[in-house]
Structure 1
Amino acid sequence: MEKTTCQFSEAIFLGDEVKRNALFTPEDFQDEEELIAKTAEMFIKQDVTPQIEAIEKQQHEISVKLFEKAGELGLLAIEVPEDYDGLELNKKISGLVAERIGFGGSFSVSYNIHAGVGTLPYVYFGTEEQKKTYLPKIASGEWIGAYALTEPDAGSDALKPKTNAILSDDGTHYTINGEKQWITNANMADVYVVFAKTDNAMTAFIVERTYDGVSIGVEEMKMGIKGSSTATLILQDVKVPKENVLGELGQGHKVAMNILNMARLKLAFSNIGTAKQAMHLAVNYGKERKQFNHFLVDFTMIQEKIANMAVAIYGAESAAYRTAGDMDDAIEAATDQQAVMKSIANYAMECALNKVFCSESLAYAVDEAVQIHGGYGYMQEYDVERLYRDARISRIFEGTNEINRLTIAKMLTKRFDSGLHNSVVDQQADVNTQFVASAKLALQLALQHVTSAQIDINAEQEYSRALSDIVTQVYVMDAALARLKKQATPPELHTLLTDVLCEEGYHKVSQLATSIIAGIQDGEALNTSLASLPKAPTHRNLFAKKRAIATEIITNPKWFA
């Protein structure tokens, strides 16, 4: 047995085995929930896909009609309470729907904004009157929602807006002036959640499109997601009733950050769906295209690409559904609205790491899908060309991945504790469990060195980046292993995917931990510290495992349907 004196609090995911065995996995969905997912899938296939070309030309009237259809199907009401014409379902089902909508190109972006940041501020922060006024319209698709936080000089530093709101002398309304940049759904939206400065603090407001002084700038010419509306929201002496303050006056940062946490998780699910679409396109093309008298999928280097895509997607969905399940449990256990918001805030790190991992898994998947298509992947007549361009934004919006990495590292160090949970590598456990335990131990040792050396991770951001990448990799490995163990008779593909993910994940963690320690120590102290890092329990033939993974997926592409 190997032990370390470096420990974690119970709040962190690196908890006990019993809790890990109770984690939610995609295999836990029941028939009724799968039916909801099927409804979303058919909506994309029958209503959205045939019109993608027109949507890409910014024929927004088509998207408006699609929102109405989505509303009729209940796809906009997933997280809206029943009292306001919603379905009042949970984060897991919301994620499942977002994943299937992820096949919808630019419309999926419009949908995510509406169903996420365009809806949830009312659900969690709205007054009773605000909920009654806005949620039924938003849930039905009669109105489209948008979220206005970013400004020309406030992107990543979005909590310092120049847009200002001044209370009238009679106290009946606020006058808002300013511009909000890159607002998704700008030209389609009927109502906006707008953040403005009030008495040196930030406040959220509900601003309707029809208010005097509200106007929309020209559509931005974007690299990808061309079919979504992106424009500047211009506010000139807009009078907003004081009843339209959303949440508490001067507490807009709470609205912004809590809603962004949930939006990051929703984006992660959408990225998973698009990554699956990219892999399907690549596999199908590889089964049709011949070179040197062989189908592309017969070449082992192509098989390796397919396997790597599958491993990333499997890890992404294992982690994202784990987080959604944990958040649902925490929200369900909350006794009041304040406790609900605290529960959501407690998952800021998990939401951020899912956003990072899933967006980068998507980036990898679309890049390899284009590569498998060869020259044809560069041509607009093939869908992977659009997927490649569309995917790039996912590492930028809902907080750049760099900002999210800083958040992950900051939350991780806050959770670091000296009183609970020794990390143990049990040499008698199965190999994957040893890989995960060794990765956790490496994380703990890296954290111990950073805290002992009093590294300012906000100033020396390389340490934040490395810590966040380690904890993300450990989280994904742990989720995949728990998913495998939870199944009484797991499919061989799941076993293969977990084998590769755990072994390669451990080596990534070990390398990152080594970099952190080497950045702090040198000489004999460095050698001593590096000797304390756990060694790989074994080395397996990953070439063979990846060939087996690719064969399973090529034979049965519905594995990731």
Structure 2
Amino acid sequence: MEAIEKDVTRGGQFIVKDTACEDIFTPEDFSEEQQMMRDSVKEFVDKEVWPNKPRFEKKDYAFTEEVMRKAGELGLLGIAVPEAYEGLGMGFVTTMLVCDYISGATGSLATAFGAHTGIGTLPILLYGTEEQKQKYIPKLATGEWFGAYCLTEPGAGSDANSGKTKAVLSDDGTHYSISGQKMWISNAGFCSLMIVFARIEDDKNITGFIVEYDPENTNGVTLGEEEHKLGIHSSSTRQVFFSETKVPVENMLSERGNGFKIAMNALNVGRIKLAAACLDAQRRVITESVKYANERIQFKTPISQFGAIKAKLADMATNAYADESACYRAAKDIEDRIEGRIASGNSHQEAELKGVEEYAIECSILKVAVSEDCQICTDEGIQIFGGMGFSADTPMEAAWRDARISRIYEGTNEINRMLTIGMLMKKAMKGHVDLLGPAVAVKDDLMGIPSFDIPDYTEVLSEEKELLGKLKKAFLMIAGAAAQKYGVELEKHQQLLMSASDILIEIYMAESTLLRAEKNAKRFGEENQSLQIAMAKLYLFNAVEKINTKGKEAIISFTEGDEQRMMLMGLKRFTKYTNMPNVIALKNQIAEKITKENKYCF
């Protein structure tokens, strides 16, 4: 009950509420069981996946299926599935942990695993009838069957509800006939079950269906050829064509017209799991980069000793540390919300749905931040390898190509940026997050005389935490003024929303990093956590610089005259350090530790 009774911040509340470091979960809090699970997944990947990377790059789809079956035999496909349906019934943090460590070696397996365990299984688990769950979930949990998710169409991508696939009820009322075209369907080449979305008559919203697929009896289902893609070469990706495919009425998923809701809630889970899937990818790239940098001699010196390389290694490690911090913080918040709802009498289905939905803002934030950090990490990995990095004989080239899809999956990063602000505003209107009060307080603060007293920063990261509080004021100042000016028309000003979202994202990521470093410094000692403290300071510095730039961009876009001058002065005040950190010294400190350990070591 301890987890349920802690002071849980509701989704989106982080922007108006201070969180105590004791109230967040960090990777250092993994239980013994979770550590054993992590180690077993790493052992599986190091044995079955990492040595076989060339096979994944040569479009060996059968090998991806083979590895997935082995993962199923180990129970890794059923981590989130309750024991009643032959799963392991683990909590949300453990499901994140498995997704994290199984996904780092190759994007091909990461995609197959994510599509199967997420959007291929969860819609039935969360929306299916008891009969549907008993019939299908055990097969999916064990890897006897694999799942695919058929939502996207040639004319329906980000606008998922505009699909043209039709479902027509038979005259005798026993089945629907589905006809239409789906594209970019992961796992299509070896799946036995598809979650298919189609429109019944002229319904406003699409409806979900469970469609069995047997290559020996296609039932009107035709698969296109495997797509030739930039990356994730051995992830089966095909078009799927339905021609009067008969689906029993009992295979409708949830209620008629509920498909769009199913799709959106599946995306919430998919977004945070996608962020997790980018974590070990970064760790492995950093480790391979530092190994190469230590071995590569130029001018009679390992290139790891050059300042330009140190800067890259430090930034890569800092982003990875920040991403871990934020992902597991949010994962535990979701788990606590799920457990709290179950304790209050909610069904497992309802608790899971509402628990994740509560933190939809954080899920979108993580999807954007971590996917972009992963892309940057792989790009810098290529740069450290130099000419060899551009060669397919080294792991960097494939890692960079695989990383690219992450910014498109689960809703593009542009869509997710706008969603973060849109969802936050909706929470404010519902009274779930009080934005108005703090925004008015910030406006009053701007009109007052700032204090010129120099605080006594004695506790670890106390100045950084104070600065973080001021960054929140900067966001509230900008978002409050923009909402006041545009009202419901705000959603039409996409570039303004993108800038505001970048500020919100940096605040959440920086806060998660600071709180993790602070919590661990308090329990393990500041000396033992000096590198983690350095990374927290470096991440915050970079966040402040970005917030300053994006803040100016936003303010100048919708203000003028005295209002503009006042807000720009406020932004300057809210992004001002009392004691500016020595960024180069921080980077050297971080890089020297990684270089010495010859791996990502935090």
TM-score range, shorter chain: over 0.9
| Residue of structure 1 aligned with 2:192, choices 190, 193, 210 | 190
Q: Distance in 2 between matches of 1:555 and 1:235?
A: 57
Shift of residue 435 of structure 1?
2.0
Distance change in 2, residues 1:175/1:289 (3 Å): same
Matched residues, percent identical? Answer: 37
Deviation at 1:428? 5.0
Letter paired with 1:87: L
Aligned to 1:258: 265
Gaps of 5+ in 1: 1-7
Residue 55 of structure 2 aligns with which residue?
54
SS in structure 1 of the partner of residue 491 of structure 2: coil
- Which is further off, 16-25 or 479-488? 16-25
**Contact 1:186/1:231, CA 8 A, preserved across alignment:** yes
The 1:9–1:195 alpha-carbon spacing in structure 2 relative to 1, beyond 3 Å, is closer
Which residue of the partner structure matches residue 476 of structure 2? 444
Conserved? CA contact 1:39–1:73, under 8 Å: no
The answer (yes or no) to whether the contact 1:313–1:361 under 8 Å persists in 2 is yes
1:132-531 to structure 2, matched below 5 A, reads 132-199=134-201, 200=203, 201-210=205-214, 211-334=218-341, 335-336=345-346, 337-416=349-428, 417-419=435-437, 427-428=455-456, 430-454=462-486, 456-487=489-520, 488=523, 489=525, 491-531=529-569
- Which secondary structure does the structure 2 equivalent of 1:221 belong to? coil
1:4 paired residue number: none
CA displacement, residues 292-326 of structure 1 (integer Å, 9 cap, x when unaligned): 11111000110000001111111111111111111
SS in 1 for 2:168: strand
Give distance in 1, aligned partners of 2:92 and 2:32: 17
For the residues of structure 2 that align with 1:132 and 1:194, how far apart are their CA atoms?
19
- Please name the residue that 1:3 is paired with: none
Aligned residues: 554
The equivalent of 1:546 in structure 2 is 587
Q: Deviations over 1:47-76 (max 9, x none)?
A: 122333223333322222212210111111
Distance 1:400 1:295 in 2: 40
How far apart are residue 557 of structure 1 and its match? 4.0
Matches within 5 A, 1:32-51: 32-51=33-52
Gaps of 5+ in 2: 1-8, 429-434, 446-450
SS at match of 2:119: coil
Helix, strand or coil for the counterpart of 1:257?
Answer: helix
Q: Using the alignment, how far apart are the partners of 2:401 and 2:10 within structure 1?
A: 41
Superposition deviation, residue 452 in structure 1: 1.9
- Is contact 2:167-2:176 (8 Å) kept? yes
State the distance in 2 between where 1:18 and 1:406 align: 25
Q: Is the 8 A contact 1:442 1:510 kept in 2?
A: no
Shift of 1:207: 0.7
- Residue 321 of structure 1 aligns to a residue whose secondary structure is helix
CA contact (8 A) 2:322 2:512 kept: yes
2:3 corresponds in structure 1 to none
Deviation for aligned residue 1:546: 0.4
Task: Check the 8 A contact 2:286/2:600 in 1, yes or no.
Answer: no
TM-score by length of 1: 0.95
Partner amino acid for 2:404? R
Counterpart of 2:5 in structure 1 is none
- Mean alpha-carbon deviation: is it higher for 231-240 or for 505-514? 505-514
Comparing both structures, which one devotes a greater share of its residues to helix?
A: 2
Tell me, in whole angstroms, the C-alpha distance in 1 between the residues paired with 2:307 and 2:166: 59
**Counterparts of 1:428 and 1:529, CA distance in 2:** 28
Matched, 1:113 2:115: yes
Q: In 2, distance between residues paired with 1:484 and 1:525?
A: 38
2:105 corresponds to which letter in structure 1? Answer: G
Closer/same/farther in 2, CA of residues 230 and 463 from structure 1, 3 Å limit: same
2:431 corresponds in structure 1 to none
Deviation at 1:339, TM superposition (A): 5.0
DSSP-derived class of the 1:509 partner: helix
Alignment partners' CA distance in 2, 1:559 and 1:384: 16
Q: Which amino acid aligns with 1:384?
A: M
**1:296–1:377 Cα change, 3 Å:** same
CA distance in 2, matches of 1:428, 1:341: 45
Shift of 1:558: 4.7
**In the alignment, is the contact (CA less than 8 A) between 1:287 and 1:297 conserved in 2?**
yes
Q: What is the alpha-carbon distance in structure 1 between the residues aligned to residue 60 and residue 273 of structure 2?
A: 25
Distance 1:446 1:376 in 2: 45
Is the alpha carbon distance of 1:11 and 1:157 closer, same or farther for their aligned partners in structure 2, counting shifts above 3 Å? closer
Q: Which moved more, 1:479-488 or 1:11-20?
A: 11-20
